[in-house]
Amino acid sequence: MSDPAERGPQEVRGPAPEPHPPAGAAPHPGPYPLAGAAPHPGGYPPYPVPGPGAQPGAHAQPSHPGGPPHPAGFPHSGVPDGSGPPHGGPRQPAPGPGLPPGEVEPRQRLHPLSPVLHGAKSLVVVIAGLSWSTLSRVGFGWFAVLAAALALGATVLAVISWYNTGYHVVGRELRVYEGLLWRRTRAIPLERLQAVEVVRPLLAQLTGLAELRLEVVGGGKTEAPLAYLSVADATALRQRLLALAGRAPQDAAAPEAPAGGAAPADAAAPPGRPLHTVRNKDLLLSQLLTPQAFMIPFGVAFVVAQFLSEGSWSFIAVASTLTAMAGVLLQPIRRVLDDWNFRLALDAGTLRVRNGLLETRAQTVPLHRVQTVGATWPLLWRIKGWLRLRLEVAGYAVGESDARNRPDRLLPVGDLPTAEAILAEVLPGVRLGELPLTAPPARARWLNPLSRNVLGAGLHEKVFAARSGLLTRQVVVVPYARIQSVRVVQGPAQRRLRLATVHADTAGGAGAAASDRDVAEAWALAAELTARAHAARRAG
pLDDT of residue 298: 75
pLDDT of residue 93: 45
Using the predicted structure, report yes or no on whether residue 28 has a pLDDT greater than 70: no
The pLDDT, as a whole number, for residue 369 is 85
Mean pLDDT of the chain: 75
pLDDT at 405: 55
Distance CA 423, CA 428 (A): 7
pLDDT tens profile 31-89: 444 444 444 433 444 444 454 444 333 344 444 444 444 443 434 333 334 334 444 44
In three-state secondary structure terms, 443 is: helix
DSSP run (H or E) holding 181:
none
- Cis peptide upstream of residue 228 (ω within 30 degrees of 0): yes
Q: Give the span between the Cα atoms of 53 and 356, in whole angstroms.
A: 57
Judge residue 214's burial from the number of C-beta atoms within 10 Å of its C-beta, 0-12 exposed, 13-18 middle, 19 or more buried: buried
pLDDT band at 406 (very low <50, low <70, confident <90, very high): low
pLDDT the model gives residue 429: 93
For residues 461 and 38, what is the distance between their CA atoms, to the nearest angstrom?
Answer: 11
Single-letter amino acid code for the residue at 76: H
Q: What is the mean pLDDT of residues 284-302?
A: 80
Predicted pLDDT at 223:
63
Choose the weakest-confidence range: 251-255, 351-355, 406-410, 490-494.
251-255
pLDDT at site 349: 83
Distance CA 97, CA 111 (A): 22
Q: Give 309's DSSP letter.
A: S
CA 117 to chain centre: 27
- Per residue in 146-160, pLDDT tens? 877 877 887 788 888
Handedness of CA 481, 195, 187, 79 (dihedral sign): positive
In the chain, the amino acid numbered 400 is E
**Which run of H or of E encompasses 322?**
helix 315-339
CB 421 within 8 A of CB 327: no
Percent of the chain exceeding pLDDT 70 equals: 65
The answer on pLDDT for 4 being more than 70 is no
The residue-averaged pLDDT of 285-303 equals 78
pLDDT (average), residues 462-481: 95
Using alpha carbons, select from 163, 183, 181, 185 the residue that is nearest to residue 118. Answer: 163
Residue, of 214 and 450, whose pLDDT is higher: 450
Question: Residue 537 belongs to what H/E stretch?
Answer: helix 519-539
373 pLDDT higher than 90: yes
What is the pLDDT at residue 38?
A: 42
Alpha-carbon gap, residue 467 to 438, rounded angstroms: 9
Which pLDDT does position 454 carry in this prediction? 93
Q: For 380-398, what is the mean pLDDT? A: 84
**DSSP secondary structure string for all residues of 7-26:** G--EE---PPPPPPPPTTPP
Helix-, strand-, coil-residue percentages of the chain, each rounded to 5? 35, 25, 40
| Per-residue confidence (pLDDT) for residue 386, from 0 to 100 | 96
pLDDT at 372 over 70: yes
- The yes-or-no verdict on residue 453 having pLDDT over 70 is yes
Rounded Cα gap, residues 171 and 178, in angstroms: 20
Q: What is the mean pLDDT of residues 6-19?
A: 43
Q: Residue 136's pLDDT band (boundaries 50, 70, 90)?
A: low
In this structure, of 160-169, 189-198, 440-449, the range with the lowest mean pLDDT score is: 189-198
Give SS3 for 332.
Answer: helix
Query: pLDDT-based confidence at 359, cuts 50/70/90?
Result: confident
Comparing CA positions, the residue from 512, 530, 523 lying closest to residue 61 is: 530
Q: How far is residue 450's CA from residue 229's CA, in Å, rounded to a whole number?
A: 54
Q: What is the pLDDT of residue 441?
A: 95
Lowest mean pLDDT among 149-163, 207-221, 344-358: 207-221
pLDDT at 507: 84
DSSP per position, 124-156 = HHHHHHS-HHHHHHHHHHHHHHHHHHHHHHHHH
* 423: pLDDT strictly greater than 60: yes
Split at pLDDT 50, 70, 90, the class of 127 is low
Q: At what angle do helices 296-308 and 315-339 cross, to 10 degrees?
A: 160
> What pLDDT sits at residue 379?
92
Highest-pLDDT range among 100-104, 244-248, 484-488: 484-488
Residue 225 banded pLDDT, cuts 50, 70, 90: confident
pLDDT tops 90 at residue 389: yes
- Give pairs for 70-79: CB < 8 Å, separation 24+: 70/191, 70/217, 71/246, 71/247, 71/366, 71/368, 71/369, 72/191, 72/193, 72/245, 72/246, 72/247, 73/246, 74/191, 74/246, 76/191, 76/192, 79/171, 79/172
What is the reported pLDDT for 312? Answer: 53
pLDDT, position 401 = 46
Q: In the predicted model, what is the mean pLDDT of residues 447-455? A: 93
Query: Which pLDDT value is given to residue 163?
Result: 87
- Is the sign of the CA dihedral 372, 475, 505, 398 positive or negative? positive
Q: How far is CA 520 from CA 357, 376, 397, 499, in A?
A: 52, 30, 36, 9
Prior bond to 32 cis, omega within 30?
no
Element (H, E) at 160: helix 132-163
Backbone angles phi, psi at 165, to 5 degrees: -105, 135
Least confident of 59-73, 130-144, 206-220, 457-471: 59-73
How far apart are the C-alpha atoms of 368 and 168, rounded to whole Å?
Answer: 30
- Contact yes or no for 373/390 (Cβ under 8 A): yes
Residue 497's pLDDT band (boundaries 50, 70, 90)? very high
Q: Are 367 and 352 in contact (CB under 8 A)?
A: no
Give the ranges where 340-429 is alpha helix by DSSP (H).
416-426
Vertex 420, ends 415 and 421: CA angle to 5°?
A: 100
Q: Lowest-confidence range among 132-141, 263-272, 310-319, 524-533?
A: 263-272
What is the distance in angstroms between the CA of the first residue and the CA of the last residue of the chain?
36
pLDDT tens digit sequence for 98-125: 455 545 678 898 998 888 887 777 667 6
Q: How far is CA 82 from the centre of its chain?
A: 34
